[in-house]
Structure 1
């Protein structure tokens, strides 16, 4: 059989290619071109001279090759990651090569299962606060997207900053969306004006970034000045500031801030997405909701759920995994090829922009039966073992897999269990429109009606 030398793809418009389709509905466009053209597709967008060409990889095998087996050839060198570095620093999410390896070695001991299990108290404290706040919800209705964003931000801020949680939450809540929207707009545009130009968008984003930097820098300075063994020494920031080795030294103040910004972004927006859509899916599926609640109700009464309870919540864990299949917090993962390569039998040229798409792979009919339906039992151990390793990869994969995977699952399962023990949920909005930013973004409300339990 002759070698395949061309990647298929839509022709698009003569001048703009697929730009308008991607602008109107990028996630829907990716789904459509997989159906029409296969598992590796070439998409062109933008006018001649400013055209972006995306090599889209939709298969599980292709995702594994890009993220794992050929990871050294597919780097975070694209435009999107450069914009993210300029706004959020050179932390674990954006760093590469020796910078990344050093950071990972220093930070990994703080994300062992034993260490992460110790964060459960902060999770349940904030979940209990949400339970109480919901008692005063106007009309008994809440938007779970907004509510889980608040819960996740408060949780990660409490774990990072300890007693300074209140000082950080409002600043991050008010300013992070401005920075995120700015990075997304510039990262996906074929050309953008220099950041130094005094344009309104540049000034707004710079002011928002300065506000977040300032609160992080102040708390970091206080932590670094505090004596070891002080009351301030138990939060994650204090542990980060003391982390070090003879080989790697310690993180300086700027490096600490970069890591804090990554944890605030990746540790709050991604987990918030998983919790929000898990709750909304349960609100739309009463039978599955009751099954998850019955499991949560079997936990010992009179105390908050703890890390030790995770093994007693297998169905609720499956609910979260199914929510992350349908609504992966990172729906699009970008890379740039160093050298020419072959991915899933198709040639990828050197210097190509390559995207793997959990949003599409998680809905691939060759991997999932009735892929648009909500079925937590897809994630029984037997069914998981029978699937390709990269049929489901909401936390990425390979050497750059998310360091916070266990923390995200711990927070999501324990928080949702606490909420289900206190409330029955009924969906008000049956569909929630979404789009791709730095993370998956809901562009409309996800309201549910609450019924407090006795």
Structure 2
């Protein structure tokens, strides 16, 4: 006779389970659940009759099952993804099955290393503009959270929209937070008010969604290419080979929106205007908030750890030319390029450690389509399952002294010794983030540009955070600036 072990978990309140704890501090609740109940935890939230039950798994072996080796069993049918789908469209983040495979084949060539490396100039130009503006900062102090959000938004808008970026930035900056808050709120309430009802919240969100849709539709209409032939390129690595348009004069510097409107191949056809808009909105959502989080927390952690900041700046000076009088190289300073990613390992390690401590996607949700064994426990079919980089990245069995900032955790030998899913800020498996090389390129080049220009001293030692669609700082991350180079 086979016995099924009961999955442990917190008792919570008699009427509401863990709902209040999850609303007050979901990330702290997950950390406490792992500490008190182990690597597979059952959580209940909500009143009787409306109570939701879900399972959180924290060990890297189980994370690998959910995201990679048994990914077909775990679908994006979670309420959060449905709300994102309803608000931003069915782009790569939310699409599934044949839709997802078709979109991935069409979009993948836009994220080849050559294409992404061609964005380096746009990244450094936007970072240079921030460095110049900081010279006039009041009290020589800035809050890294809005500053890096604006930098990442301007960068992704420039790469997506080219000359139309300026018109897009203000609308996105104004509308995206409204939509994000609306999505998260609806995803986790026991009873959802229909979107069509004219409540103040619905109307505010609808106006923001309509504004972003209209903006994208206008720009896309101006970019749609005349109907013409496309050519099939040679195969790329893996199953995502696809076509590139047969147009002269196209280079890696072309804005991403133009390339999206031209993406086509014989098997999948092309993306229509609505599909292009849905991809653009997902890229805007995933491409600026996540990178902004990584930038802000890397800078803030280095500001709190001046010895690590000095190590990083010494490396930047050696690679890019002296950053301060009396520098070691004597070379004429130059802007960072894509080729410098491999030449800045100390900076890259600091970035990876910041992404460990502050992963931009702190919780990833799936729904099991059949009963599955995770960590020795059977998860029932239809169950909502979450994996949490926030928790796994702090697992004491994987990361000694896990709350300490230690970039040397990411030396090549120490990385090779760890489980592949001990660190997964970009997800993993067949749904891994398509833009992870772009995110690393943008982050390293922007950090190199800013850290060459300034020494940073932390004003706020700790930055409170909460889980939304992405990790959200709920307080300031202020730093005091000291220029390292003379003003031009």
With the shorter chain as reference, the TM-score category is over 0.9
C-alpha contact 1:79 1:187 (8 A) present in aligned 2: yes
Q: Is the 8 A contact 2:225 2:262 kept in 1?
A: no
Aligned ranges 1:12-411 → 2 under 5 Å: 12-225=12-225, 234-300=254-320, 301-411=332-442
> Do 2:364 and 2:388's aligned partners in 1 also have CA atoms closer than 8 Å?
yes
Aligned residues: 454
- Quote the Cα distance in structure 2 between the aligned partners of 1:43 and 1:452: 49
Task: Give 2:471's aligned residue.
Answer: 440
| Rounded Cα–Cα distance in structure 2 between residues aligned with 1:4 and 1:36 | 21
- Structure 1 residue ranges without an equivalent (≥5): none
Paired residues of 1:60 and 1:388 also in contact (CA < 8 A): yes
Q: Which runs of 4+ in 1 moved over 6 A?
A: 230-233
> How big is the shift at 1:27?
0.4
**Which digits, 9 at most, give the CA deviation of each residue in 1:358-395, with x for residues without a partner?**
00000000111000000000000000000000000000
Distance apart, 1:267 and its partner CA: 0.5
Report the CA distance between 1:113 and its aligned residue: 1.1
In structure 2, how many angstroms separate the alpha carbons of the residues matched to 1:190 and 1:293?
A: 50
TM-score, L = length of structure 2 = 0.91
Cα distance in structure 2, aligned partners of 1:197 and 1:231: 47
Shift of 1:302: 3.6
Using the size of structure 1 for normalisation, the TM-score is: 0.98
How far has the Cα of 1:2 moved from its partner? Answer: 7.1
- Per the TM alignment, residue 345 of structure 1 is displaced from its structure 2 partner at its CA by 1.2
Question: Distance in 1 between the 2:4 and 2:441 partners?
Answer: 45
Residues 29 and 175 (structure 1 numbering): CA distance in 2 closer, same or farther, change over 3 Å? Answer: same
After superposition, give the CA deviation of every residue in 1:226-258 in whole Å (9 maximum; x if it has no partner): 796689992111011111000000000000000
The DSSP-based 3-state class of the residue aligned with 2:6 is: coil
- Whether the 8 Å contact between 2:225 and 2:261 is mirrored in structure 1 is no
Once residues 334 and 102 of structure 2 are traced to their aligned partners in structure 1, the CA distance between those partners, rounded to angstroms, is 40
Measure, in 2, the Cα distance between the counterparts of 1:247 and 1:229.
23
Contact between 1:4 and 1:345, CA under 8 Å: does it hold in 2?
Answer: no
CA-atom RMSD in angstroms: 1.5
CA contact (8 A) 1:283 1:448 kept: yes
The residue matched to 1:299 in structure 2 has which SS?
helix
**Whole-Å separation in 2 of the counterparts to 1:400 and 1:225:** 30
